Amino acid sequence: MTPTEILRFRAGHRIALFGAGAAAFVAMEDAIAEAKEHVHLETYILRTDRLGRHMLDLLSRRAREGVDVRVIYDAVGSRGIDRRMLASYAADGIEFEAWNPPARWLWRFRPRLRDHRKLLLVDGRVGFLGGLNVGDEYVGDGRDGLHWRDAHVRLEGPGLNELEAIFVESWFRVGGSSFDWRSGVARESEGGGEHDVAILADGPTYRRRRVRDFFLDELERAESRVLLVSPYFAPGPKVLDAIEAASDRGVAIELVMAGRTDHPLMRRAARVLSARLIERGVRVFEEPRAMMHAKLAAFDDRLAVVGTSNLDRQSLRHSCEVNAVFAGATVPGWIRANFGPERPGLTELEAPTRGGGPLRRIADRWAMFWAEL
């Protein structure tokens, strides 16, 4: 069976899509405020800045009111976190666990195995996932360099028990305290919506490179057009070959990447790799105004992805990820309208001239070396 055929699409989901962090965080705060049983947060970056303190204050208040609150944060992604502040929130009842911390498990430390998921789950009733970590830079609409551009989705429906199971597996993997998890995982939430959704996760529990193989499968199935949105682009030779093959058979491929970036070497590597795609007919764009952090894909008008997986080797080979896959034309249309070339302000890249000086060639090779690790 192909990766797409393995996915379990279930009907009846209600969704809300967010193309700006401010609106998404308001929706998350509302869901937390309505929690009656538990709140589960799993995030790559947890900052103790203004937004982080605000979210933790809200979680702390719910914990004092008797709601079970559990938080997993990645030890490397959240390396600047204020641990004294976390201790004060823990005293209010929030349970914190760090994913793969080098200081605690030095003999077991796997530096590339990162928890890159961004999940918020409330009572097994509502869930959020996408590109938003917890930090000030994620609040905003991407209008300038201080406000990143990102995408997130709110879900209600039967897929929530799969997301709960993903969190529970992570919680016990990092040594979290025991709790009665069975009711949340077994619960079949009735979303009452019209969307068919499948959950596509990757990590130690799953067959590795599951997300990569899904993209290979869908690039081969594509008939008319594909939009790929990723802040970092260094996916490895198999995905590059699949993009080129789809373009060669007449599929219109569009790729949107970050123009302003927090990883300059990755941007240089992405430009090196995208140059070969441009020569094969792929249209490549950059978002120049702000850091574009969304991880999205639209295949024809039949399938779309909103999630945490970047199109780079770290995400596709090493990290724990979670994505929602949507059947039908609604979400592909939303992605194209909000993040595709139809949105004004993107810069289309042209094929670079051949050659360049020795310093440029050295810089390109150095960037590719790091991208291919």
- Residue 367 belongs to a domain with what CATH number? 3.30.870.10
Q: Are strands 95-99 and 68-74 parallel, antiparallel or unpaired?
A: parallel
* 120: in domain: yes
Query: In this structure, is residue 153 part of a structural domain?
Result: no
DSSP 3-state of 69: strand
How far apart (Å, rounded) are the C-alpha atoms in residues 257 and 310?
A: 10
Q: Tokens standing for 202?
A: 């990757």
Confirm whether 312 is domain-assigned. yes
Q: Using the structure block, give the residue that is written with the tokens 């498990």.
A: 105
238 and 363 share one domain: yes
Q: 67 with 178, same domain?
A: yes
Q: Domain for residue 200, yes or no?
A: no
Closest CA to 43 of 343, 363, 332, 319: 319
For residue 216 the two structure tokens come to 């290979």
User: How many folded domains does the chain comprise?
Assistant: 2
Same domain, 184 and 284: no
Rounded Cα–Cα distance for residues 168 and 181 (Å): 7
Are 364 and 277 members of one domain?
yes
Statement to judge: residues 107 and 237 lie in one domain:
no
Cβ-proximal residues to 31 (8 Å cutoff; 6+ apart), any chain: 120, 122, 126, 128, 154
The whole-number pLDDT of residue 353 equals 61
Examine the domain organization and report whether 259 and 348 are in the same domain: yes
Residue 283: give the domain boundaries. Answer: 210-371
Same domain, 184 and 36: yes
The neighbouring-strand residues paired with 296 are: 229, 306
pLDDT at 352: 74
Distance in Å from the first CA to the final CA of the chain: 30
- Give the Cα separation of 331 and 161 in Å (integer): 22
Is the same domain home to 262 and 305?
Answer: yes
Same-domain check for residues 300 and 329:
yes
Q: Is residue 183 part of a domain?
A: yes
Count the helix, strand and coil residues of the chain and give each as a percent rounded to the nearest 5: 35, 25, 35
1 located within any domain: no
Residues 176 and 41 in one domain: yes
Residue 85 lies in a domain: yes
Give the residue from 371, 327, 359, 352 showing the smallest Cα distance to 11: 327
Residues 214 and 186 in one domain: no
- Report pTM: 0.94
Residues 224 and 112 in one domain: no
- Residue 41 domain-assigned (yes or no): yes
| pLDDT tens-place values along the chain, 373 residues long | 566 667 999 999 999 999 999 999 999 999 999 999 999 999 999 999 999 999 999 999 999 999 999 999 999 999 999 999 999 999 999 999 999 988 655 556 677 899 999 999 999 999 999 999 999 999 987 777 778 999 999 999 999 999 999 999 999 999 999 998 877 776 776 768 999 999 999 988 776 789 999 999 999 999 999 999 999 999 999 999 999 999 999 999 999 999 988 888 888 888 989 999 999 999 999 999 899 999 999 999 999 999 999 999 999 999 999 999 999 999 999 999 999 998 889 999 998 765 566 766 666 676 666 666 5
